[in-house]
Structure 1
Amino acid sequence: MAEALLIGGGGSTAVASEHLLEALERIRRGSVTCATAAGRLEPLTSPLPGDRWNGTGAELAEAAAVLRRESEALESLGGALRIAIDGYGWAESRARSWLEEAIAPVASTVGFLAGRIGLGLLPSVLPVVAIAAGAWMLLPAASRESLSRSSSAGVERFAGSLFDSPATTEALRLLAASADDVVLGALGVPASLLAAYRGSGAGSVAQMATAALGVGLLSGDRGRAPVVVSRVAEPVPIAAPVGVAERVARIPDSAAPVRVERFAAPGGDRFEVYIAGTAGEAADGGPLVEGGEHPWDMSSNIALIAEHDASSLQAVKQALADAGAGPASPVVFTGYSQGAAIATLLAESGEFTTAGLVTVGAPTGGMPVAGDYPAVVVAHDDDPVTALGGPQERTNAVVVTAPRDDRWEEGDPVLAGHAIDAYRETAERVDASGAPLLSETIARLPGGRDGAPGETLSYSALRLSGCDP
């Protein structure tokens, strides 16, 4: 049996097991039930005409008093449990902040030492590398091929076991938050300036990504280059989705990375958009060239984490415009991985009337949801990609962290916790949860319960040649 989901967010720092939240709801309902029953008994405690001693009324009055006391006891128990949940969340938040503050000077020192030691060892290492390369080339082709297969399999097993761990994900999340300290330390920034930099609160994953984006632009990277989208098929009839699982099931692959569904509504059409994750290959099946024609690449990823107008984000906006969505159009955004970052940025952009947000495998810890709309963020505890956005900031979205029972086995993808198929299974668990915060948020998402028909449009995207703006 899968472990319980961990549920947090909703504008609070509290994080609790879904079982604990369900127990809290049962306690609340028990208290209300007892109070209601006591209220219904109280009118029956009055003496009946001709009943001199009113024995029945006295017994009913006692029963009503007992029910009142039980209601108050359950209310007190629920209050204590809520305080415990909030206290645990506060303590965890403070512990994380303390750990980040403690790691920052260590990270800058490590960066400083790594930079100096690396430069010092470089003259000694280069001859060794050259000799090893020469020896490799002298080996027979069959031996080189055999060694290459063995080393690749060994690296895959090691990486799969390493990344299939919640501890690795948490460590990467902390490292992402300290990346700026490592880089500044390696550049030799004095300790006094580093302390002032940390004290100003200037460091963030988004700012580090912005710096990486700037370096990329200087080297010809094109993460923000313009794009053009094209419909890949005629519109297809579709029923509106209900819940999280149906939406996650409709996320497309990167060959046609944007899917838009349009539904007629009394006040105007409403829309659902589904956005794919980072592409593994080009549209023709060949290797993906970073900054090339396919905008769902790492160049766009860096631009997105930097919260810039990435090529892939531009493509989604063009697809929505082609489908007829405008500023007043209600839109539910659903995305996976890179698509999740796009969905979050568009939902918060104010360019559309956001009606909901669903993301899975999202590197969006530094992109909190501030809008007043239903939003569900789902992450596996062994998905290192979700750590790349840094620690989760306080957000109005309901954040669901799902422990996975499946351990990495040979033949699994290296990042098994990030696989879209695994998230589709988890989405079904999310829909089935009885935790009120989660179930009530899902119920607020526009759904297909009214049976309104619609149509779906699929789009491909092409990054244009030319300079990055």
Structure 2
Amino acid sequence: MSGDLIIGGGGSTAVATAELFSRARDLAMIGVRLHDCLAELSAVDRGVTAGMLRDADAPLSAASAERDIRDAIATIGATRSRLEHLGTALELSAERYGEAEDALHRLGQQVAAGAGYLFGLALPTIALVLLPAAVGFLGGAASGYALLSAESRRALGAALPVWFRRNSRALSDPGVVEAVRLSVMSADDVGAGVLRIPPDLARLVGDEGLGLVGLGTSASVARGAAGRLGALRETGVTVERALPVVASPAVTFAERAARIPEGDAQVRIDRYRSAGEADRFEVYIGGTRDFSVVAGTEPWDMTSNVAGIAGQDAGSSRAVREAMAAAGVSAASPVVFTGYSQGGLVAAQIAASGDYNAGGLFTLGAPAAQVAVPTSVPWLAVEHTDDIVPALGGTWASADPVLARRELFAGAPVDTSVAFPAHQLSAYRQTAALVDASGEARVERTLGALNSPERGATVESTLYTATRVRP
């Protein structure tokens, strides 16, 4: 059975399950109804006094009813007071939980950074001891890789999903996922240790300080090193447009998740036309299609993944921009972005670029935690805590979206028939429906911002297929 949906972020310290927020909302609604009842009874009580009943020689039952009304007023007042105290207690518990969780995350990152720095300091000594074996192994591996044909290299990269599928149970453990998240965040600290940078300076320029170096720096270094072996090299892209079809407006998170393209097309753009209004657009971006580290014909590959995390020009990002230009999206056009996995990273980066009039952002399982999306862009991010892919994007230090999380396989066996079972789009679509059903205030505000207020709009939907240009 899947775990509870936990909602946090969005400018608030409150973090709790959707059920808790639902109970708090129910208490507030009961309080409103009791207030209405209290107002009606008080009006009756003021309109009919004990003196009026005596003057009218009313029966004893009328006087008894008067006393019952006053007793009811007192009981309702006391109940309202208890409900207010209970609601306040629920809110405080959510805030305290959020503060504790945030403190634990900061502590974990600091510990991981320190451990990474110490490992970097010791790495030259370790390397010296293991140098003969390491040189032989790495030299042989590099020579063998260099001698492989392009097709063989792509086949080697295609074998990665098989390995992940065989190890999906261990890789879907939330503890392992969190360890991966902290490890990628401490990669720059390892480098600082190797270079013997003073610890205080390393902390100042790293993720725990000014953020001048971090995950993006580490990804850039990895990409540069791989490029020497012919891997992770970017190419040009071309984009083909399919014939547009008539569609209906998307008004929920689940409906948006359902529109994320699969198959050959990687991008879907819906154009909303309404009389007297400027056209607005919704852009849907799919996830990684090719796990090879050598660029082939698919732009949604590992080359674009690493380039995107490094904050560099990724082929998938260029393809989305070309598709948007072909669809008629201008810098002034209102546009909402929805993206899954690598598509979520691309969506966040384009929304954060300032090149477009971004009206909202919805990401699912995206390694986009390091993307500094402005707070003026409403953003809902969905993550499974047993999904290793969003963990590769590091910790949420650069942005504060409304963050909806749940453990997909809590109390249930892990699906080993696919690689990254907690990362499957079908599972994220189910979670999107749970987010819609939560009714949490931050979720509702974000959804309201994504939905345009116009009525009677016609929707024209177009799919776009991108291809890499072979060097």
Rounded Cα–Cα distance in structure 1 between residues aligned with 2:398 and 2:121: 32
Does residue 36 (structure 1) correspond to residue 41 (structure 2)? The answer is no
* From 284, 296, 302, the counterpart of 1:274: 284
Larger mean CA deviation between 325-334 and 182-191 belongs to: 182-191
Contact 1:305 1:389 in 2 (8 A): yes
Report if aligned partners of 1:11, 1:394 keep a CA contact under 8 Å in 2.
Answer: no
Deviation at 1:429, TM superposition (A): 2.1
98-107 or 289-298: which moved more?
289-298
Deviations 1:69-116 (A, max 9, x none): 322221122112211211111122112212222222211222333443
Contact 2:293/2:302 (<8 A) preserved = no
Structure 2 equivalent of residue 134 of structure 1? none
2:165–2:418 CA contact under 8 A, matched in 1: no
SS in 1 for 2:268: strand
Matched, 1:372 2:376: yes
Q: Which amino acid aligns with 1:94?
A: A
In the alignment, what sits opposite 1:398? Answer: 402
Shift of 1:179: 1.1
Equivalent AA in structure 2 for residue 275 of structure 1: I
Equivalent in the alignment of 1:355: 359
1:328 aligns with 2:332: yes
- Taking only aligned residues, the RMSD between alpha carbons, in angstroms, comes to 3.2
How far apart are residue 19 of structure 1 and its match?
0.9
Aligned residue in 2 for 1:209: 219
TM-score by length of 1: 0.84
- Is the deviation greater in 182-191 or in 89-98? 182-191
Q: Distance in 1 between matches of 2:453 and 2:317?
A: 27
Task: Evaluate the alpha carbon distance shift between residue 94 and residue 409 of structure 1 in structure 2; reply closer, same or farther with a 3 A threshold.
Answer: closer
Mapped partners of 1:362, 1:152: distance in 2? 19
Question: What is the match of residue 179 of structure 1?
Answer: 187
Question: Residues 201 and 128 of structure 1: is their aligned pair in 2 closer, same or farther, counting only changes over 3 Å?
Answer: closer
State the distance in 1 between where 2:204 and 2:355 align.
Answer: 37
Letter in 2 for 1:418: H
Aligned position for 1:101: 110
How far is the alpha carbon of 1:189 from its aligned partner?
Answer: 4.0
Choose the corresponding residue for 1:414, options 413, 419, 424.
Answer: 419
* CA-CA distance at 1:311 after TM superposition: 2.1
Q: Distance in 1 between matches of 2:320 and 2:135?
A: 46
Is the aligned partner of 1:341 residue 2:345? yes
CA drift at 1:308: 3.0
* CA deviation after TM superposition for structure 1 residue 359, in Å: 0.9
Q: Secondary structure at the match of 1:51?
A: helix
- What number of residue pairs does the alignment pair up? 440
Separation in structure 2 between the aligned mates of residue 452 and residue 221 of structure 1, nearest angstrom: 46
Deviations 1:16-73 (A, max 9, x none): 1111111111121222222221112111112358412873444323322322232222
Show the counterpart of 2:428.
423
Is the alpha carbon distance of 1:89 and 1:457 closer, same or farther for their aligned partners in structure 2, counting shifts above 3 Å? Answer: same
Distance 1:261 1:409, change over 3 A: closer
Structure 1 window deviating more from structure 2 (265-274 vs 44-53): it is: 44-53
Aligned amino acid, residue 348 of structure 1: A
C-alpha distance 298-185 of structure 1, shift in aligned 2 (>3 A): same
SS of the residue 2:281 aligns to: strand
User: Equivalent residue for 2:393?
Assistant: 389
Residue 16 of structure 2 corresponds to residue 16 of structure 1:
yes
TM-score with structure 2 setting the length:
0.83
Task: Give the aligned partner of residue 438 of structure 1.
Answer: 443
Q: Secondary structure at the match of 1:389?
A: coil
Residues 342, 153 of structure 1: alpha-carbon distance in 2 compared, 3 angstrom cutoff: closer
The 1:127–1:204 alpha-carbon spacing in structure 2 relative to 1, beyond 3 Å, is: closer
In 2, are the aligned partners of 1:5 and 1:17 still within 8 Å (CA)?
A: yes
Letter in 1 for 2:190: V
**How many Å separate the matches in 2 of 1:129 and 1:219?**
12
Do 2:45 and 2:66's aligned partners in 1 also have CA atoms closer than 8 Å?
A: yes
Q: Which amino acid aligns with 2:216?
A: A
Letter in 1 for 2:256: R
Correspondence 1:215-226 to 2 at 5 A: 215=225, 225-226=235-236
Q: Tell me the equivalent position of 1:290.
A: 294
Q: State the partner residue of 2:154.
A: none
In the TM superposition, what is the alpha-carbon distance from 1:224 to its structure 2 partner?
5.8
Fraction of identical pairs, as percent: 35
The structure 1 residue matched to 2:54, chosen from 37, 52, 59, is: 52
Structure 1 unaligned blocks of 5 or more? 132-150, 282-287
Structure 2 portions without partners, runs of 5+: 56-61, 141-158
The superposition leaves residues 192-225 of structure 1 with CA deviations (integer Å, 9 ceiling, x where unpaired) of 6535545743343233334445556677767665
